[in-house]
Structure 1
């Protein structure tokens, strides 16, 4: 268990409720797990009655590793205090957890909020009225109320005793009505410098712990890190469901807030939520206040010359559920529900096409294919087509600014590729200023971290499209997990929505033969990849022999906004793709479409290839993989992906010595006597 977890667990263990043996066990467990004595000291000091400075350090020296007490003992004590270990969404949050993302549940900007004035009651102050109003607001007449007026003093500080917890609210209110303004006749004398306290939830008359609480109605919100006027303003703006708001007589307000829980478990969950929302909006809450048996300041008494007085009752939302629903509503950032009938005769205009008959502006497109398909070149061709208002793969494109996010190539190679493609397309760079490039090779981060940075940098770019190449560099989570990939793809939606532009990206095929699969099932990983984008363009290789060294590809489209187009056949004639206008590829088949006889013939042809050709192909693969690798190290896996075979096949070829002077060790392919970074 990590240090953070153990310290967090201590928040669920009240030192004042621990036996001496349990207190010692906590110290032993902390030492066993490598924590410093200061952590035990800080936790123990919360029990102000029993804690003595230096005692922890003295005990600590005698603890040995053979005691058998570990962090598991602390975990068990924390469980008894209400802590739960679970990864489900409805789990009880720990006190270090944060509700939602960094920007969620922020309603008030505490840096800019103006303080709200609090009026001192002055000479008109009526303590009896304050206490009576407080008690009648929080309690039924038959509820037993716990209060404290007796104190003990240590080093000039005053601390409450256990107090009295036997009288009902009705009995106290009745006596207040007959005391003629002398509340000491009801509560006894108070210590002027200390004030008085009250427990805001009813008790059973048998004690003052959490176990003696009979109804989990309220929680205490107290923060002393801001000016008291700012505390008041934030509490008001947060619409906290405050039953009673009391001035503590010092530097904080005590807000008694509706929790309305049916049991202790629900109380904890609701207080967790309440405190986290408060904390996100600038109210740093004392964590010890979370307990339902916690003491709060009793209005109607003086504390060191200052009044503990009642400021307001029943402000903000009427109950916890109403407040919770309001917080969720103002933070969901979701559009209102619409009635179709109201829009039927005045439908909004569709987003105009970005790529004619393929993709609309502001939508998402995925280009999927295996290695050697030239996917990056295809995306660069698309960037140029959008910048110049030209055709891409035969489809006309709108003209506008485009951002190419390069995650794979070094900067020089990327820039050269753009120029090479421009020249191969025989296009003049008349609108070259429409293309921006963000080179992130070696700097890429997961998409959930990249998205906000991308949005911030691109806000002023007025882009019609952002092209991300490739996405495997920024995938967050397991690409085979549907829920994790759904969250990953949601980041593209955020970019589209925030910037009002299309997001276009590419991904690789899974290993193995792909031709027999549906186009939307070929992309590697979860099916979310294929189902999420508005347009999926899939590339599958055709089985042809071309004397010019070109490769042939069939493009299939799965479209959400348009009718799917007929499969498009293209040649990849480095560095660009060219449409097969002659019809040469019309009857070409994918490898998986070949008959058994045809596959046998192809296999025989493969077996009878000259040794020089085999060596040439492996040398080509080695050089390509070395160029693509950031550290120039070529692995068995990289060669296997290049040829779309398994690693066993590559190892067998290398061991056969028929493909050149290659060896391998620990998964790394080595070519002896070849200079360069790939040499080991």
Structure 2
């Protein structure tokens, strides 16, 4: 039985104090759903100041009875990952194991501060000579404009657990200017109570860091989403201070709360509430990833923070610093992304010259290296799937494929189109048709995905996760239209689509080979790299493009192939039933159906020869009539271009044309081979452009003549020189190459009149 993944160690990454009520309940629901008991949830919850032992058992009993969608262990893994838990833990064998419901993600890690190695930055509390009024003045001037309404609370009440909470909504109708005027009036008193009211020394006071509309203190009353609160109490004050600075958070005001935490008022500068939510999620993610576990209850833009300039218990609430870190959200966000990108570093070419770079090993000789990408394209009924299965077998067994030697390796064939029995039968037929024993058939793995097709961006992480332990040398996807994401004619969407092949190749160290279809219409007039349907990305992305295009088999060639197949059929029958007779046959006779028919009669007797020549021979000749001819052309990035490979497709195999009877055949639907048609098109285009230029020059000359003619029907060539600002020789050449204007020996230009 498979061992169940243990969720309890993940709870160490999820301080209950960092969760809001709904998230705390969801952890309990997830534990209960996955079979854990009340004690596990209760012990974990005790770390939160909100813990109430009298309510826990009744709350546990009610979990999961609302009839809604169950909360599973995936919720706990998600929250743990947000706080730095690694879902991939490395074991001694070098292989990765994955967490509960985990999928490989290509989201950046964003972890670049190790809190264990960060030296704490001391916070110096002001002495008795501090000026509380100046503290609040600086805070307000830093965060608010004069006409902003500010919300603050000085009144509080003591709970049963001895802690203090705010009482009521406090003040929210005063503007920053009004409060600053009051502060200035009582500046000499050095007591905020004169301006904002007295607060309990045991409790301290609170202030909202975003401006309000003066009508209330809810999120909808926030008028400008400038700031967010970052607060954490899971480490020493000095470590909190240091990590916030290491992260270069764009902090407008850094305030000591008078308790266990530092409050960072961070610039998020959001245009609206929706953008505020996204930016705060991003901000909290970065902090959590780097060891600063943020209290998620502080996400609201109308949240209260600690007011600097008042006493709280034995400590002062005071401004530690203002305007530190990056100057704006945009600058900080760009810095974080740049710091944590996964792009390679610059390298000096001089340094590379001193090395002898090791190229990736070759998988298919003169075609494809391991870890590179290859596209096989062709029209329907070209036998592309057969070709890919033949390739799978050739790589698995270390045999030539279409005349190209293959290194032996392990292959994953992703079958998107055939049902499972058909796929396996086809592999068996090809093995038998190739006439080889499946000595290394264990090197071929098939992933039958018919009926389970999902877009490539969703398939990629699942493929990588499943294939990591197998160490495949090639992954073949047949065909890609089943996993296509976006429009195949959209270059941007196809670039994103093909990036998935890079991820598979990079993560698995495997070659990725995929199959695509031709665009509609005749393909003979195109180069091999331009025949694939859709965006030109398919012509630029792969390291190798192999393209199959059908050849027009002439009647005489098909007749010749029929006679050759008949001769071979007779020879095989003689080999099966009277092999010693083969020594009696001359070399030329093996090529003649008529002569081999005579030899069959001599070797087996007329009656036996007549029996053999019936049904079986008819089947051989039928297959000859049905076989098609194909030309494989390539466009390669790593290797020189190879000569086209001509093939017969005789179900279920493509057979290399060793004799060369196909080399002079044209493509289906074309009159001339590609190189001849290309030259003809180029010549035609050149003549048409030349005629267009000549007409344009003639029109310009006639126009100039009509303008410069003073009524006598002639124009001095010098005037044409000045008019066009060209040399005399240029004008003469223009006149020479048209039939309307002419020039005499004295340099006069006149119009030639055509008389009926």
Looking at structure 2, the residues matched to 174 and 156 of structure 1 have their Cα atoms a distance apart, in angstroms, of 26
Structure 2, unpaired ranges of 5+: 1-103, 158-164, 289-293, 559-620, 673-756
- Of 182-191 and 143-152, the range deviating more from structure 2: 143-152
Question: Closer, same or farther in 2 for the Cα pair 1:285/1:589, shift >3 Å?
Answer: same
Q: Name the larger-Rg structure.
A: 2
Q: Does 1:508 align with 2:514?
A: no
- Output the aligned Cα RMSD: 4.6
Alpha-carbon shift at residue 162 of structure 1 (Å): 1.6
Looking at structure 2, the residues matched to 141 and 475 of structure 1 have their Cα atoms a distance apart, in angstroms, of 50
Residue 349 of structure 1 corresponds to 358
Q: 1:585 aligns with which of 657, 662, 673?
A: 662
Mapping 1:75-224, distance limit 5 Å: 104=107, 106-108=109-111, 128=130, 132-133=134-135, 135-136=137-138, 139=141, 144=146, 157-165=167-175, 167=177, 178-179=188-189, 182-190=191-199, 195-198=204-207, 200=209, 219-222=227-230
Residue 641 of structure 2 corresponds to 564
Question: Closer, same or farther in 2 for the Cα pair 1:287/1:553, shift >3 Å?
Answer: farther
Aligned length: 487
Looking at structure 1, the residues matched to 510 and 155 of structure 2 have their Cα atoms a distance apart, in angstroms, of 67
Q: Does 1:385 align with 2:394?
A: yes
Looking at structure 2, the residues matched to 358 and 551 of structure 1 have their Cα atoms a distance apart, in angstroms, of 24
Question: Closer, same or farther in 2 for the Cα pair 1:281/1:433, shift >3 Å?
Answer: farther
1:534-568: CA deviation from partner (whole Å, max 9, x where unpaired): 11111111122545131111111111222221211
| Conserved? CA contact 1:115–1:232, under 8 Å | no
Residue 418 of structure 2 corresponds to 409
SS in 1 for 2:473: strand
Looking at structure 2, the residues matched to 510 and 217 of structure 1 have their Cα atoms a distance apart, in angstroms, of 51
Mapping 1:351-500, distance limit 5 Å: 351-500=360-509
| Conserved? CA contact 2:133–2:192, under 8 Å | no
Looking at structure 2, the residues matched to 357 and 328 of structure 1 have their Cα atoms a distance apart, in angstroms, of 40
Looking at structure 1, the residues matched to 226 and 132 of structure 2 have their Cα atoms a distance apart, in angstroms, of 18
Looking at structure 1, the residues matched to 518 and 229 of structure 2 have their Cα atoms a distance apart, in angstroms, of 55
Looking at structure 2, the residues matched to 227 and 146 of structure 1 have their Cα atoms a distance apart, in angstroms, of 34
| Conserved? CA contact 2:256–2:320, under 8 Å | no
Question: Closer, same or farther in 2 for the Cα pair 1:149/1:508, shift >3 Å?
Answer: closer
| Conserved? CA contact 2:143–2:252, under 8 Å | no
Question: Closer, same or farther in 2 for the Cα pair 1:111/1:446, shift >3 Å?
Answer: farther
Looking at structure 2, the residues matched to 148 and 125 of structure 1 have their Cα atoms a distance apart, in angstroms, of 28
Looking at structure 1, the residues matched to 646 and 144 of structure 2 have their Cα atoms a distance apart, in angstroms, of 84
Question: Closer, same or farther in 2 for the Cα pair 1:289/1:371, shift >3 Å?
Answer: same
Alpha-carbon shift at residue 395 of structure 1 (Å): 0.9
Looking at structure 2, the residues matched to 384 and 418 of structure 1 have their Cα atoms a distance apart, in angstroms, of 8
Alpha-carbon shift at residue 340 of structure 1 (Å): 2.9
Looking at structure 1, the residues matched to 440 and 324 of structure 2 have their Cα atoms a distance apart, in angstroms, of 58
| Conserved? CA contact 2:145–2:176, under 8 Å | no
1:307-344: CA deviation from partner (whole Å, max 9, x where unpaired): 67247435973423552233112332111223334424
Question: Closer, same or farther in 2 for the Cα pair 1:316/1:455, shift >3 Å?
Answer: farther
Residue 321 of structure 2 corresponds to 313
Q: Does 1:299 align with 2:302?
A: no
Residue 551 of structure 1 corresponds to 628
Question: Closer, same or farther in 2 for the Cα pair 1:290/1:204, shift >3 Å?
Answer: closer
| Conserved? CA contact 1:541–1:553, under 8 Å | yes
Alpha-carbon shift at residue 231 of structure 1 (Å): 7.9
Looking at structure 1, the residues matched to 170 and 122 of structure 2 have their Cα atoms a distance apart, in angstroms, of 28
Question: Closer, same or farther in 2 for the Cα pair 1:146/1:175, shift >3 Å?
Answer: farther
Residue 276 of structure 1 corresponds to 282
| Conserved? CA contact 1:114–1:233, under 8 Å | no
Alpha-carbon shift at residue 591 of structure 1 (Å): 2.0
Alpha-carbon shift at residue 571 of structure 1 (Å): 0.6
| Conserved? CA contact 1:246–1:254, under 8 Å | yes
| Conserved? CA contact 1:158–1:194, under 8 Å | no
SS in 2 for 1:583: coil
SS in 2 for 1:396: coil
Looking at structure 2, the residues matched to 448 and 420 of structure 1 have their Cα atoms a distance apart, in angstroms, of 33
Question: Closer, same or farther in 2 for the Cα pair 1:111/1:581, shift >3 Å?
Answer: same
Looking at structure 2, the residues matched to 514 and 576 of structure 1 have their Cα atoms a distance apart, in angstroms, of 23
Looking at structure 1, the residues matched to 305 and 418 of structure 2 have their Cα atoms a distance apart, in angstroms, of 63
Alpha-carbon shift at residue 110 of structure 1 (Å): 12
Alpha-carbon shift at residue 278 of structure 1 (Å): 1.7
Residue 540 of structure 2 corresponds to 531
Considering fraction of residues, name the structure with more helix.
2
SS in 1 for 2:630: strand
Looking at structure 1, the residues matched to 452 and 370 of structure 2 have their Cα atoms a distance apart, in angstroms, of 29
Question: Closer, same or farther in 2 for the Cα pair 1:359/1:103, shift >3 Å?
Answer: closer
1:110-168: CA deviation from partner (whole Å, max 9, x where unpaired): 9999999999999x875945664565477369974865556789999421222533548
1:396-440: CA deviation from partner (whole Å, max 9, x where unpaired): 122222211111222222222222222222223232222222222
SS in 1 for 2:633: strand
Alpha-carbon shift at residue 456 of structure 1 (Å): 1.2
Looking at structure 2, the residues matched to 269 and 393 of structure 1 have their Cα atoms a distance apart, in angstroms, of 57
Question: Closer, same or farther in 2 for the Cα pair 1:471/1:323, shift >3 Å?
Answer: same
Looking at structure 2, the residues matched to 312 and 142 of structure 1 have their Cα atoms a distance apart, in angstroms, of 18
Alpha-carbon shift at residue 246 of structure 1 (Å): 3.0
SS in 2 for 1:367: strand
1:460-512: CA deviation from partner (whole Å, max 9, x where unpaired): 22222111111111111122222111111110011111112110010112233
| Conserved? CA contact 1:508–1:524, under 8 Å | yes
Q: Does 1:254 align with 2:256?
A: no
The normalised TM-score by structure 2 is 0.55
Looking at structure 2, the residues matched to 403 and 550 of structure 1 have their Cα atoms a distance apart, in angstroms, of 29
Looking at structure 2, the residues matched to 275 and 308 of structure 1 have their Cα atoms a distance apart, in angstroms, of 30
Residue 45 of structure 1 corresponds to none
| Conserved? CA contact 1:141–1:169, under 8 Å | no
SS in 1 for 2:631: strand
Residue 94 of structure 2 corresponds to none
Looking at structure 1, the residues matched to 182 and 475 of structure 2 have their Cα atoms a distance apart, in angstroms, of 70
Looking at structure 1, the residues matched to 140 and 176 of structure 2 have their Cα atoms a distance apart, in angstroms, of 17
Question: Closer, same or farther in 2 for the Cα pair 1:367/1:249, shift >3 Å?
Answer: same
Mapping 1:585-664, distance limit 5 Å: 585-594=662-671
| Conserved? CA contact 1:244–1:257, under 8 Å | yes
- Of 328-337 and 443-452, the range deviating more from structure 2: 328-337
SS in 2 for 1:515: coil
Residue 574 of structure 2 corresponds to none
Looking at structure 2, the residues matched to 359 and 127 of structure 1 have their Cα atoms a distance apart, in angstroms, of 77
SS in 1 for 2:363: strand
Looking at structure 1, the residues matched to 110 and 434 of structure 2 have their Cα atoms a distance apart, in angstroms, of 53
The normalised TM-score by structure 1 is 0.60
Question: Closer, same or farther in 2 for the Cα pair 1:231/1:142, shift >3 Å?
Answer: closer
